[in-house]
Amino acid sequence: MNHKISLHKKLFSANEKEVIYTLKNISKKKYFELVTNLIDLFAKSTSKNIKNEVFNILINLKDNNSVKYFMEGLIKQTDANVRLQLISACWQNGLNYSPYINYFIEIICNESITHAIEAYSVIEMNYMKLDEKQLSIFKENVKKLKNQSSGENLKLLIEVESLVC
């Protein structure tokens, strides 16, 4: 526990070199519980070097245990640019986001078309991982959300519907 507190302190240090050194060490280990902290750092940092290092870690995650923490970090983000990059990282890292697939369909329905396209990519990579019951619920959710959408987002929802049918 003290080690994680120490890591957290180093991640949010005012010393950019210390933060980058810590990030390089984290990327070599499996600290999936720190993913939420990494997302916070990504959102708050003004350093391009730190942002690049964190994003590189996020797109190279390989442990599905990190998905829960990734989604916690994504869901609480309100900055549109940060959200866009995080949604993009979801499909880039190739992890299993199928338990959160309905969250991504909500993004298609409610956010900008740019966010929607990134969310579509996540859905495209994950819908096959749903069991029959989950897929049925997902299809119903897509049909319901089509009635609440318009424009380009509606077109993308129709694409999702044709993809999963």
Q: Which pLDDT value is given to residue 140? A: 94
So where are the chain's domains? 1-80, 96-165
Cβ atoms of residues 142 and 157 within 8 Å: yes
Dihedral, 70, 73, 76, 77 alpha carbons, nearest 10: -100
Q: Residues 107, 87: contact at Cβ < 8 Å?
A: yes
Helix pair 35-44, 48-59: axis angle to 10 deg: 150
43-96 confidence digits (pLDDT tens): 999 999 999 999 999 999 999 999 999 999 999 999 999 999 999 999 999 999
pTM of the model: 0.90
